[in-house]
Structure 1
Amino acid sequence: IIREGIDLGEVTLSKTKNNRTQAYLRYCLANGYTYLHQLTESMGGIVDRTIPQSEHLLQAKRHLLQATDFEIDDPSLKVQLLVNLGNSLDTFGRGIEAIHAYNEALRLSKNFPMAVANRAKALRAFADISDKYRASIYVTAYQDIKSVLDDPKLVQVGGLEAKKAFERELTNIESRFQDKSLLKKNIKHPRYKTDGLTKFEKYYLDFCSQEGLFLNFHIHDGHCEAAIEDPVFIRLITKLDDNDTFYYFAKQLNQIKEDYAVARLNLVQSQYKQKAFDNISKRTSYVYALDYSQFNLYIGLLKSAFKDAFNILDKIAVFINDYYNLELKENNIYFITASIWEDKGAIRREILNSENISLYALYDIYRDFKSNRCQKIKQIRNALTHRRLVVFDSLITSIDDDADKHNIDSDTLLQETVNLMRLTKAAIIYLINFVNIEEEKKHKAGVKPILSMYADTSQFL
């Protein structure tokens, strides 16, 4: 019956032009494909190994992504689409992007119970890599689920099974606290101090907070100290006499985080007009082509931010190669090509057998590139790196960038850069969580006590 409904829905969709109807049909089709996975593919377990290979889940995600692309005047449908998209992304381990989808839903419908509870569930999954904010994230997730657990809309939308699943989440979190009273504690995060900050520093913090570009999961208040830091890092278990392995991988991750921080800085600087940059830009001569195309320092910084963010993905692929000792030639490793992810056209055994949801998340991002979901990102990157990308002033002229892959308007380039930065941020966090999950397996399998070694984080500025 489900297959028949899907077939009918696909046929109807191909004949429909109305945006709202298309969005609703894709919503229904996504539900159908999800149910089909549960009935015919799912093996259950803590981490379902069918997830990275499921065509049904891929189809569900595809329909939800396309449905949320539509501009529709139906807030209720839009909210449900965003929540279901968040659920779909979370199924693939892409909880950071899921949190963004839930936040978008909550902007449209404050306190929508399924968005609140699912966001808390996704947030909790990354608590263990959050350094000093680990406990507060668990408490926040717990309190958020508690706040909506008895809301009638939770069962109306998600059913009794959803409520039971969230109750299990609460039990899971409770098991991590000896002192249960901490779970009722009011988590206060004072606003970060702006005294002594320059105008640019304030602009930088506000911009990055608003766009969600810091490497953390803070959802309480974007203007507190906890929300403007990049604390996430890996933990490794090594032999006592091994003084090299941790620092080898730490330096790789340092490079990734440094590249991200620089790309983020370039992005912000590209939007911050200042006389010094104006004067520096004017020292370089560009020919005005009489078509409102723009070449200047600010546009260059925006282009650099995009390129740097994209290149981080390749470094993530190299990290995985080294961590798993796949012995692939480093010069042949690229995130968006099959080498690191597939062997003879199929998902690598190491990835599939890992049962590591964050590694599945990275693999799924690769599949988005493979399926051309990220075609726009690839086109911009290729134009910037190998050809040219001419940027036009959005306020003066309109550009059909689909007709000419070498042209783009400034607003589109800015939005695509922000989108890529968010994707890269998510990929970095998935990488860190992937490593920590693997190291936790070693911890549980070991019989000897494990001693903690704290790393110096001085920057010697």
Structure 2
Amino acid sequence: MDRATLLIQSIGSLIRAGDFKNSLKRMDEFEQSNSDDLLYKFYKPGFLIDIGVGLKSEKIIKDGIVAGELALDKAKDGKAKAYLHYCLANGYTDLFELTERIAAVIDRNIPKSENLWKAKQHLMNVASIEDIGDPGLSTQLLVNLGNCLDTLGRSIEAIDVYDEAIRINKSFSMAIANRAKALRAFAEISDKYRAAIYVEAYQDIQSVINNPDLVAVGGQGAKQAFEHELHYIESRFQDKSLLKNKLKHPKYKTNNLSNFEKFYLDLCQKEKLFLNFHIHQDHCEAAIEDPIFIRLITKVDDDDTFYKFAKYLNQIKEDYAVARLLFVQSQYRQEDFNRISERTSFVYALDYSQFNIYTGLLKSSFKEAFNILDKVAVFINDYYQLGFREEDIYFDSIRGRGRNSSIWQDAGVIRKEILNSENISLYALYDIYRDFQSGEHQRIQDIRNALTHRRLVIYDSGITDWDSKLDKHNIGYNTMLAETIQLMKLVKAVIIYLVNFVNVEEIKKRKASGKPILDMYADTSQFL
């Protein structure tokens, strides 16, 4: 091992030992004679960011970010790119914690933070890197993405990301503990599942709290934070012995169900497409229902407001249920559907393009799911009485007002109603809007526009290479299927954030009134 490599390793050792001043001094000395060393340039961003955090220096962290961006531009290897994205995401997250974080229940700087936004972008960009070749780095990147999404209020999506990390490494303590923390945040709004979620979160954290890798990866600060979570959960139980109970989640019963209904439940459970807060386990009876709904505080003589918003949400849930059903039908081959499809003549173009009732159902599922986003925006407009015409409102814009105006922003600035809400689920919806504005969801927007206004031709993925191409009017079947599932999951999260946003706002009203509030019975009959 040459002298330069030994010196680089010594810098890392000083940082790990907490000797940040001497590590910075050694970096300065190294650069005087080895400024062009490629290995040093690769590790320099991470070194500077770690030193900046240790010394609480905004300038040093920013220097690390600049070095990281330069190194990323020149990186060619997949693992190197992933590592630099990891360093840069850490740098921007550390800047948020150092310069923006407010010690409040809900931090008003979260939706405004460009640092958090950039951290998330770097972590999401890793998804396009196929050759990382390091399961440990991949797992840590997923955990960090989950943490970032959780901070932004997007806990439903964060839990899915933690699950993905755990699939790579079932014993990765930071993934298990952070997933439990995200679960715990939903306990208070999960009604009859509250105790079960608390118990599961508690037991998961307990299972890893003394694992060496928890401190090795997250430091003593992480362990202390998770110990605080344990104490909080304990404070919610008078009988602490309940926290030791072994929870039972028997699989939902399929007796007397048709083959299609069994297929429907199994596929929706597998892809986690049901609307409920039973998010700790997904294979039992409670996990295959859509019970979530809003609560509203209204005047005693107001017979209209609740039903007005209830019908809004009914429409959103109905559209989602139909989109989900269309998706399942597109995957369920049956003789009567085959015969129905064959009654319509389609010209085969000799290029393995597919036109039939099943591809049509998949396309319709996608369109139905996407349209829900606009209806969520209409709901927010009416809830806050923003005054825009319904027919002009889209999720990411308002007709005739330019790209930077929407129900979320006015001339590119977050609306005061959104910011002043101090409602983390509304902040989550705002962050999803920002994803659309940034082009993060450009592919699904292109698919929706092609389906609605032009054409989208689906090709056989087993024979053609359309899955590897980007084209606004042509797509491989496997890509279309994956994009539809991804959209369904996004819309599911949006609906849950919407419901939680309203319920949190109504809880605020209940507390502010200081008076007893009567519950109103709501009939849920469907008259089928």
User: TM-score scaled to structure 1, two decimals?
Assistant: 0.97
Q: State the match for 2:67 in structure 1.
A: 8
- Give the 3-state SS of the residue equivalent to 2:458 in structure 1: strand
Is the deviation greater in 412-421 or in 236-245? 236-245
> How many aligned residue pairs are there?
461
> Which amino acid letter does the alignment assign opposite residue 95 of structure 2?
L
Q: State the match for 1:290 in structure 2.
A: 350
Displacement of 1:217 = 4.2
Q: State the match for 1:109 in structure 2.
A: 169
Displacement of 1:401 = 7.0
Is the deviation greater in 236-245 or in 428-437? 236-245
1 CA distance for matches of 2:187 and 2:383? 22
Displacement of 1:42 = 1.8
- Equivalent pair of 1:129/1:234 in contact (CA under 8 Å): no
> Which amino acid letter does the alignment assign opposite residue 215 of structure 2?
V
| Equivalent residue in structure 1 for 2:463, among 392, 396, 408 | 396
| Equivalent residue in structure 1 for 2:82, among 19, 23, 26 | 23
Displacement of 1:65 = 0.4
| Equivalent residue in structure 1 for 2:127, among 51, 68, 72 | 68
- Equivalent pair of 2:461/2:467 in contact (CA under 8 Å): no
1 CA distance for matches of 2:188 and 2:385? 25
> Which amino acid letter does the alignment assign opposite residue 105 of structure 2?
I
Q: Which has the greater radius of gyration?
A: 2
Is the deviation greater in 92-101 or in 205-214? 205-214
2 CA distance for matches of 1:400 and 1:456? 47
Matches within 5 A, 1:173-212: 173-212=233-272
- Equivalent pair of 1:234/1:436 in contact (CA under 8 Å): yes
> Which amino acid letter does the alignment assign opposite residue 425 of structure 2?
S
Q: State the match for 1:375 in structure 2.
A: 442
Gaps of 5+ in 2: 1-59, 398-404
Cα distance, 1:168–1:444 mapped onto 2, change above 3 Å: farther
- Equivalent pair of 1:68/1:78 in contact (CA under 8 Å): no
Offset from partner CA, 1:175-233 (integer Å, 9 cap, x none): 33333333222221211111111111111111111111111344554321122112222
Q: State the match for 1:343 in structure 2.
A: 410
Displacement of 1:400 = 6.6
2 CA distance for matches of 1:50 and 1:207? 39
- Give the 3-state SS of the residue equivalent to 2:394 in structure 1: coil
Displacement of 1:403 = 5.1
Q: State the match for 2:179 in structure 1.
A: 119
- Equivalent pair of 2:324/2:365 in contact (CA under 8 Å): yes
Is the deviation greater in 350-359 or in 154-163? 154-163
Matches within 5 A, 1:444-455: 444-455=511-522
Q: State the match for 2:9 in structure 1.
A: none
- Equivalent pair of 1:235/1:435 in contact (CA under 8 Å): yes
Q: State the match for 1:429 in structure 2.
A: 496
2 CA distance for matches of 1:63 and 1:211? 26
Q: State the match for 1:300 in structure 2.
A: 360
User: TM-score scaled to structure 2, two decimals?
Assistant: 0.85
C-alpha RMSD over aligned residues = 1.5
- Equivalent pair of 1:24/1:67 in contact (CA under 8 Å): no
Matches within 5 A, 1:9-408: 9-71=68-130, 72-337=132-397, 338-399=405-466, 402=469, 404-408=471-475
**Which structure is higher in RCO with an 8 Å CA cutoff and minimum separation 6?**
1
Cα distance, 1:112–1:399 mapped onto 2, change above 3 Å: same
